[in-house]
Amino acid sequence: MVDATDPATLVNVVAAARAAGVSFAATAIAQRKRAVRALGDAIMARAADIAKVLHEEIGKPPGEAWTSELVTTGELFDHWLGAIDDLLTPIDVPLNPINYPGKQVWLELDPIGVIALIMPWNYPFNLPLRTIVPALLAGNAVVYKPSEHAPRTGAILAEILAATLPPDLVTTVQGDGRVGEALIAAHPDKIVFTGSVTAGKRVAMQAATMLIPCSLELGSKDPAIVLADANLDRAVAGVVWGAFHNAGQDCASIERCYVHRSIYATFVDRVVVATQALRLGDDVGPLVNEAGLAKVASQVEAARAAGAVVRVGGSPTGNGYFYPPTVVTDMPANCALMVEETFGPVLPIVPFDDVEDAIRMANATPYGLCGSVWGRDVSKAEAVARRIRCGVIFVNNCCFTGPMGGAAWTGRGESGYGVTGSRFGLEGLTQVRTVCVDRTGQKREMWWYPYNDALVRVARGLIDVGRGGAKLGDRVRAVPVAVGGLLNRWK
């Protein structure tokens, strides 16, 4: 049993995190790296305990718990610890030495402050660390709210964080949406939210009233396009895994598959066989709760009532929240199964005759997170992939880059905005500062008061000297104009 946090305490929690963040940000990057490395070591030392909790709490099969949550977490720490020095190195701004003698300007990334991290239940261990690790290295503090559907996983991560890091630097708060709302109302400096479109819109609206920047990773309806020349062995195995891993409870899951008609019948038959071989519990876990099960069952039944053919699966098992991996064909293009996020182990397969039709159908939803294209002619497949409206595109693969520290995870449309991972994700956890230093010691600048005709001559001469399209003679003749104006500037 995990106790919920009293929403009334969130103001004090955020204030304590802000104070801890100021102290941590003042330390050298080497010291921050030591703290984060110690955190990573502590997590790996508890890997077996974490995998056990993931299996017990949300039914994640051990193979998925270890690969998608733990191996990827180790890689995440390795990436950021290796990359952070370069990413936080100040960037010099080139200056014209004639216009700006003795001056230096550079850009540096400062921590943004306190980051409110509101996370889902489907990858409850790795997902928060995708933000926590770079946030800490950049000098931020974090207040982290795990999903109310995975509180035990949140609690074991909280235990490791509290035992490894300075007090209040990363604080875990538990509870439902009311705790999330109170966390935002406590006015953190940035919100990072992963969840449904509906909840994401509420977060964005609340944040907007307080002018708090936010990053939203929301739902999707990810398409796969299987071209006529696809390697069927790989395409079948990849699409089946892409559709059913984590019981389809992944915003990167393949939720629609478009297959060239010349291979459609063969592809469907082989997908059905591969799906029938999957083992409930060992390969495919349960849905998270009764609402998730009901949503999946409702979409399949509505499609079936509209004429769809269920090739395998299609009905709840009656065993907890398990729903069998399901393959559906011949459904109407406008049924919920084709246009709304399912977030469950269901794969609709649709034939196409022309690749332009496949691209049009792939882009025919308001979502745009991931997509994949499968074909032996990689250049052709890549050309098709670039026309899919999404933030992450795969050719002959799917769904695996989300946990990578170096890869950007971002969406289009109702899949949200903001970036997790990569240097672009780090930019969202920091704020840029321009630093200007003048070492000349001179009394005043050429452009300071008083304004006079000599200043105008200097300015005109500098413009003419710098005109790239002007003739060389004209540019040379402009030099004495600028110099003469400068010599007379203060007379």
Q: Mind telling me the catalytic residues?
A: 217, 251
Q: Which tokens go with 350?
A: 């649709």
- Cα angle 294, 300, 305; round to 5: 120
Q: Which is nearest to 155 in space by CA: 177, 133, 174, 141?
A: 174
Tokens 């960037």 map to which residue?
91
CA quadruple 279, 284, 287, 292: dihedral positive or negative?
negative
Burial annotation 126-137 (CB, 10 A radius, 16+ → b, else e): bbbbbbbbbbbb
Q: Are 444 and 465 in contact (CB under 8 A)?
A: no
Residue 369: which residues within 8 A CB-CB, separation 6 or more?
217, 219, 220, 222, 251, 252, 390, 391, 392, 411, 412, 415, 416
Three-state secondary structure call for residue 242: helix
59, with CB counted inside 10 A (0-12, 13-18, 19+), is buried
Establish how many alpha carbons lie within 13 A of residue 131's alpha carbon, considering only the half-sphere containing its beta carbon: 34
Element (H, E) at 307: none
Helix ranges, 221-288 (H): 232-244, 261-276
Q: Which is nearest to 407 in space by CA: 255, 252, 246?
A: 252
Q: Are 133 and 80 in contact (CB under 8 A)?
A: yes
Q: Are 139 and 431 in contact (CB under 8 A)?
A: no
Three-state secondary structure call for residue 343: coil
Distances in whole angstroms, Cα of residue 303 to Cα of each of 300, 333, 365, 367, 481: 5, 10, 17, 20, 79
Q: What is the per-residue DSSP string for 392-437?
A: EEEES--S--TT-SSS-B---GGGEES-BSHHHHHHHTEEEEEEEE
Three-state secondary structure call for residue 351: strand
